[in-house]
């Protein structure tokens, strides 16, 4: 299975629903709570001038009306996940993480 699709399923489990969106277009109407994620970086490890290992980094945003959302803790416990920042926009709490997967 594609690693991104594995991450998608992992995020759906953490959220407890299918309201997980990969790089959604602006015309998509989201329901909350939700998780939005996108590819942010690809880190290559080299040997003999060739790439022998790649690490994909994703930005994961938990969006919820509840400032003390339990979803934030579930996502923060995922392997190779790091909390980045929190902000409020449109009366919704956004908790931003980076995750290597």
Residues 30-43: tens digit of each pLDDT = 999 999 999 999 99
pLDDT score for 1 = 54
Q: Considering its fold, how many domains does the chain have in total? A: 1
Q: Residue range 24-51: average pLDDT?
A: 93
- Domain with residue 50: its CATH number is 3.30.2000.30
Domain holding 75, by residue range, is 3-100
Cα–Cα distance measured from residue 52 to residue 86, given in angstroms and rounded to the nearest whole number: 35
Average pLDDT in the 24-30 region?
Answer: 90
Q: pTM for the complete prediction?
A: 0.91
CA distance to 2, 47, 84, per residue, from 96 (Å):
23, 33, 5
Question: If you average pLDDT over residues 43-53, what whole number do you get?
Answer: 91
């Amino acid at each position: 299975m594609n690693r991104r699709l594995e991450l998608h399923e992992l995020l759906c489990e953490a959220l407890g629903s299918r309201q997980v969106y990969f790089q959604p277009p602006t015309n998509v109407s989201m329901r909350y709570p939700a998780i939005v994620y996108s590819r942010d970086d690809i880190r290559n490890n080299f040997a003999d001038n060739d790439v022998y290992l790649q690490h994909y980094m994703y930005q994961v945003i938990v969006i919820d009306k509840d400032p003390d959302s339990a979803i934030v803790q579930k996502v923060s416990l995922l392997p190779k996940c790091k909390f980045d920042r929190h902000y409020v926009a449109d009366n919704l709490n956004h908790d931003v993480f980076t995750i290597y997967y």
